[in-house]
Amino acid sequence: MKISLIAHDNKKQYIVQFALAYKHVLEKHELYATGTTGQKISEATGLTIHRFQSGPLGGDQEIGALIAKNEMDMVIFFRDPLTAQPHEPDVTALLRLCDVYSIPLATNMGTAEILIHGLERGDFSWRDIIHERTKGERNGSNNS
């Protein structure tokens, strides 16, 4: 599965701790992250992470583009609800896309742990069906 890891500045330490705690799960998947978050996680864990721009420079939008193409399976986004973000419209758009495309989304540690445990159990195998359907539509073999 393709998993995005994102964190606002005041939450970066928490997503690094999360990645360290669940490295054994995350290392089995393709990981993506916004700039600094990806760097911090990679340095702390040794995990391979595809890094996009930082959030304010378009990283949220790059991840959103993958969601819109059904090429992202899960988003873990540790948001800071108490600090105004200069790119809040981009954040809102990303969250909206997760809802539109039924992408599992965690915006805090508690929900992220539930998603990771579900991932470990295989609860998200339905995403494979989505990928097959999307692949078929791209190849023109839609049977509807």
As annotated, the active-site residues are 60
Look at strands 49-51 and 74-78 and give their pairing.
unpaired
Beta carbons within 8 Å of 55's beta carbon, 6+ residues apart: 6, 8, 34, 35, 85, 87, 90, 91
Q: In b/e form, how buried is each residue of 10-27, taking b as 16+ CB within 10 angstroms?
A: ebbebbbebbeebeeebe
66's tokens: 């993958």
Report how far apart, in Å, the C-alpha atoms of 89 and of each of 18, 57, 116 are: 26, 13, 27
Q: Which residues have C-beta within 8 Å of that of residue 136, sequence separation ≥ 6?
A: 142, 143
Amino acid symbol at 35 = G
